[in-house]
Amino acid sequence: MQPFAGRRQWHATPESAPLWRHPRALVVLAALAACLAIAACGSPTLPSLPAGSYSSATFGFHVSYPANWKANPCDASTCGNSASGAIPFNLIITRTGDSHSAAALISTCTITIMNMKNRDIAASAASLSRDKTLQSVTIGGVRGYKSAPVTQDIPNSQISVTHTDYFVVHGNYEYQLSTDSVKGDNADADLQSIITSFGFGG
């Protein structure tokens, strides 16, 4: 299964983003590719999955997802994330089911945990309220921010993907929730239900 190649994993512009943001994006993309590869193993026809939930006492959050979605957790030790501990954890929730082959592009929701003890992350998180491109929203009962959706056409295909980022700071972490909705996948309602279900407390 192919990840969305145009994933935007930072809320500063590429020109103004600190250098650590670019390696982070590569790490998140590598983690996404690894987790999707694991999810794609086996027969292209996958069994019907029940609705589920995922919680982390370590990172203080919980989230639910609809039937035929699957949670793929990746921590720093298993997915090779930042050695500095800046990005200790990713959770990638992927859509799956009988209609998707192992090579298909699929809709996803990614939850990236960023450690506020890292000075660059703390500074970036502090700038969220000043970023005029972000909309103020409530995430898990806490004030957060949402980017404008960005739609990107996948080269040499009839496929497009709409990407949206959500940011919220709680305790020692900044949580970035990202959705990638593949055109024709009819995943918008499911993705929104995942975002709405997100809450704090593992």
Is residue 176 a part of any domain in this protein? yes
Domain hosting 186: range is 21-40+54-200
Model pTM score: 0.76
Is residue 67 a part of any domain in this protein? yes
**Is residue 121 a contact partner of residue 172, using CB atoms and an 8 Å limit?**
no
Tell me the per-residue pLDDT of 100-159, one tens digit each, with 9 for 90 and over: 444 467 899 999 999 999 999 999 999 999 999 999 999 999 999 999 999 999 888 888
Is residue 120 a part of any domain in this protein? yes
Tell me the per-residue pLDDT of 154-201, one tens digit each, with 9 for 90 and over: 888 888 999 999 999 999 999 999 999 999 889 999 999 999 999 999
Question: Count of residues for the chain?
Answer: 202
Kindly report the CATH number assigned to the domain that includes residue 167.
3.40.1000.10
The tokens describing 87, both together, are: 């990005």
List % helix, strand, coil for the chain (3-state, nearest 5): 20, 35, 45
- Could you give the CA distance from residue 100 to residue 96 in angstroms, rounded to a whole number? 6
| Total number of domains in the chain | 1
